[in-house]
A and B are shown apart, each in its own frame.
Chain A
Amino acid sequence: MASGGDAFEQLIKSDLDRWGNVIKSAGIWVE
């Protein structure tokens, strides 16, 4: 479950890509 810095950085990069695509595709925004 837990992981060190390198794996954590890869997780952040992949989640940034994933949620960026979802949010842009869905047109989600906050005021």
Chain B
Amino acid sequence: MIHRAEEKFPMRSIWVMAATALAVILFMPRPAAAQPWPQKPIKMIVPFPAGGGTDFIGRLAAKHLADRLGQQVFVENRAGANGAIGLQALMASDPDGYTIATTSDTPMVVNPWLYDKLPYAPLRDFLPVATIVRFPGMLAVHPSVPAHSVAELIALAKAKPGSLAYASAGVGNFSHLAMELFAQATGVKLLHVPYKGTGPASLALLGGEVQMGFNNVQTLLQNVRAGQLRALAVAEPQRLALLPDIPTVAETVPGFAMAPWIGIIVPQRTPQAIVSQLSAEMLAIMRDPDVIHLLTISR
């Protein structure tokens, strides 16, 4: 015998089931409505020691982010392994918008080529939020070097392969890689002398232990203005408005341009709405006249 559905489920039973289902729906826990972000303090990892350039920019960004978001943004310095320790900590954090990082370019674009067992992959494990600043580079020589232009420096280096030495703040540092890029672009052979940090490298250049160096405009400009170094060029596509008399490397070596940067990243899988809001806030901060003024006078 074939039973019809209404026989299998009499009307009375159907009403009971419907009422029960309604009760379940009415009293079941409802998913929380999306809360506006942020609801609690935000941790900002800086993968370098306190007092350095990335830390300075990170703390500046944290202060202004806190003002705009109405929540505390506290900096946690997680230094070590050229920034890899801090980014590993970021990778292990919950992707909920409450752990972010201010990083320089080195841990993101240099470390993957320097370390065989890097625990993170930049674009697999992190979402780029916004760049904060770029630092234009400058090529400078000791005043004793008989070169007053990039062309003269190249000619001098080609006449004496391997005899012109440059200082760097360490293997893989921007001051090292910029010179390697220059050497490869111009076909010259230079002698690399790595020091332990920017301070010792700068002293070596000022003291004439080495003949040349590539570093940030901010780092070198004071010595250039004091006559302790001779600026040959900046590594921007066009001359800097603040330094119109200093040519670009690209005027002699077409296409040569480079500048280290600092930016904000978050763990992969952080909600897109938070990433977008954070990006918009950072861009607004970096267009703030007070911030622009502070970064300008810090040069």
Contact = CB atoms under 8 A, between A and B. Distances in A.
Interface of A: 1-5, 7-9, 11-13, 15-16, 18-20, 22-26, 28-30
Given A2-B286, A28-B177, 13 more contacts: A1-B131, A2-B287, A3-B131, A5-B130, A8-B131, A9-B128, A15-B109, A18-B109, A19-B109, A19-B110, A23-B177, A28-B113, A30-B114
> Which 4 pairs from chain A and chain B are nearest by CB?
A2-B286, A8-B128, A15-B109, A23-B113
A8 B129 contact: yes
B131 A16 contact: no
Nearest to B130: A4
B109 A3 contact: no
A4 B283 contact: yes
B87 interface: no
Query: By DSSP majority rule, is chain B's interface helix, strand, loop, or mixed?
Result: helix
Interface of B: 82, 105, 108-110, 112-115, 122-123, 127-134, 171-172, 176-177, 180-181, 183-184, 258, 261, 263, 275-276, 279-280, 282-283, 286-287
A30 B258 CA distance: 23
Contact of B171 (A4, A8, A18, A30): A30
A12 B109 CA distance: 7
A4 B287 CA distance: 13
A3 B275 CA distance: 13
5 contacts: A1-B286, A2-B283, A3-B130, A5-B127, A30-B115
